[in-house]
Structure 1
């Protein structure tokens, strides 16, 4: 027997059900306390680490913290074996590597960015339990370390480049860490307005259903050549529909589907626009009678375009509160598109 049999050979299963994202958080919680105790767990720090994972892009800071706290509570009352078995059953194929990465990141030494020798048996057990091949696990560890190193460099830069500043009228505006745009903050703290920011993304949301998000990426020189050869419309279609949506939405929201697409062209640039139906995919949740929070249905509009060698994806959502009924899909798509375009008009690009 090994000291990890209580986790990986347990037959216990939690009475709670977990979403795939919660399962990833569960792996992180288990790993963080496997060789210590629950009392030593810094849930706030752990939530902050997980919030950097792409699969949690749609989570607010409060939702991320609530998720970690819930996983810790299950571990306390039902045991690590029950939590792991339930998590392992809840993880879908698309995020198995994320689950493994969530375990690895909990064990990396902060200074050397290596897994300490005494922790390696646990990682090997986790890899086997998740049925990952050695080459997959090793590649994920390399990519994770490279991402952390790159993030450390970016963080050093961001610390020197203040993102929330005052404009000439004394109003707060958000300034991209890369210096490529400035935007007036479109949410109000009195309505629960929040700013979620990480490398290449900033999102503004509140408690009344507002979501305005900007994803932005410097375009590599080789991609500029690709755009020149295949055309802007084909390139934007490829980025938005074949890459961004599968990773950012479809992998995390069951039943999400594209309802409308459109390519717009003006005298300056082209825009690729899509409307996505997201069942239980809103950033707004409602409390059910059993105490569980369930996300509301929503439509998400996404507008993709190129500006000054940056690729931008602007998003806005329409949440369907109790009693709300979706209208004609063309009208819904146009309303959200206009909301995005009006938001873009407030931005100063550089």
Structure 2
């Protein structure tokens, strides 16, 4: 008899009825108690984890906590095996993967982003009990780890940047700390508008996929000499295609690719434009049924030019929602370029 037979080989089933959503929560509760005790389970923390799942989007945090408390009560009265059997019987086919994901999240070491060797035997037993193939289980584990990694990355980025909600910003225009430009704020507080800034860059975003960003760099004398030597088109191409895009985009989105380039000789006294295809590279994510967040596909247009004594790179993102199909690269490039140029027209350079 193995350690987990009392859970996965129990012949008893709880008389308490469970909804499919409660069945997902029950697997999380069983997993949390399997190698510890009921007293060690923090119902509020466990409910907080579950509340991130799409299946609980209709529930408040308090309601989710009440569900967890009720499930813990069933374990106290009847044991882990009866609760697991009730959960398995109540779990709809669509939510089996969510149930496994709930177990994975409970077992995951959030600092190391791994599941320890000590917890692997339980996870394997859970997989077998839910009748999942190895490939299905491995994919869920990868998605859960990726979601935690993404959350860490976003938290780190938030620490690095100064992020201000538009409604908390007391001006209608943003002024660069170096005094080289002023721009009306292009996002709305009612749509979750935010301003993110750090030295040399400011970004404007909202909850609907808008991203407008201005990177700016003072031009030292040696760069001006290089422009005069190689010409503006070659210089802009080297800055944007050979340096900026690989460092700012390719380093974070390995599958990204430059799909379109264009030198605009008569625009802004010379400008260079590129369109980058970014699979799963949007700043906007969608929530999967198993609770993991997957970034949307997106295109990013970037325009570089010189104004005064500064080099600028202005970019705009287009995210694709709900299976939206993009047009041709040429069409998308033109539309995003027009959006950037309209934005640039609102910037007052000093």
- TM-score, normalised relative to structure 2: 0.54
**Which residue number corresponds to residue 262 of structure 2?**
262
**Which residue number corresponds to residue 139 of structure 1?**
none
Root mean square deviation, CA, Å: 3.2
Report the secondary structure of 1:239's partner residue: helix
1:222 and 1:266 mapped to 2: Cα distance?
25
Count, aligned residues: 206
**Which residue number corresponds to residue 105 of structure 1?**
none
Report the secondary structure of 1:322's partner residue: coil
Q: Deviations over 1:100-158 (max 9, x none)?
A: xx9xxxxxxxxxxxxxxxxxxxxxxxxxxxxxxxxxxxxxxxxxxxxx9xx9xxx9xxx
Structure 1 or 2, whichever has the larger Rg, is: 2
Contiguous gaps of at least 5 residues in structure 2: 1-103, 117-140, 147-152, 163-167
Cα distance 1:322–1:308, how it changes in 2: closer, same or farther (>3 A)?
same
Contiguous gaps of at least 5 residues in structure 1: 1-72, 92-98, 103-147, 156-162, 167-171
1:268 and 1:191 mapped to 2: Cα distance?
31
Cα distance 1:267–1:194, how it changes in 2: closer, same or farther (>3 A)?
closer
**Which residue number corresponds to residue 294 of structure 1?**
294
Cα distance 1:80–1:317, how it changes in 2: closer, same or farther (>3 A)?
closer
1:267 and 1:212 mapped to 2: Cα distance?
19
Q: CA shift at 1:165, angstroms?
A: 5.9
Q: CA shift at 1:220, angstroms?
A: 1.1
**Which residue number corresponds to residue 109 of structure 2?**
78
Report the secondary structure of 2:313's partner residue: strand
Report the secondary structure of 2:259's partner residue: strand
Counterparts of residues 191-210 of structure 1 (less than 5 Å): 191-210=191-210
1:82 and 1:280 mapped to 2: Cα distance?
21
Cα distance 1:347–1:74, how it changes in 2: closer, same or farther (>3 A)?
same
Q: CA shift at 1:328, angstroms?
A: 1.8
**Which residue number corresponds to residue 64 of structure 1?**
none
Cα distance 1:204–1:302, how it changes in 2: closer, same or farther (>3 A)?
same
1:205 and 1:305 mapped to 2: Cα distance?
22
**Which residue number corresponds to residue 237 of structure 1?**
237
For the pair 1:305 / 2:305, whether they are aligned, the reply is yes
Conserved in 2, the CA contact under 8 Å of 1:176 and 1:182?
yes
**Which residue number corresponds to residue 251 of structure 1?**
251
Q: CA shift at 1:164, angstroms?
A: 5.5
Counterparts of residues 11-160 of structure 1 (less than 5 Å): 78=109, 83=114
Conserved in 2, the CA contact under 8 Å of 1:75 and 1:83?
no
2:113 and 2:284 mapped to 1: Cα distance?
30
Report the secondary structure of 1:78's partner residue: coil
1:75 and 1:283 mapped to 2: Cα distance?
27
Cα distance 1:195–1:75, how it changes in 2: closer, same or farther (>3 A)?
farther
Whose relative contact order is higher, 1 or 2, with alpha carbons under 8 Å and at least 6 apart?
A: 2
1:184 and 1:338 mapped to 2: Cα distance?
18
**Which residue number corresponds to residue 342 of structure 1?**
342
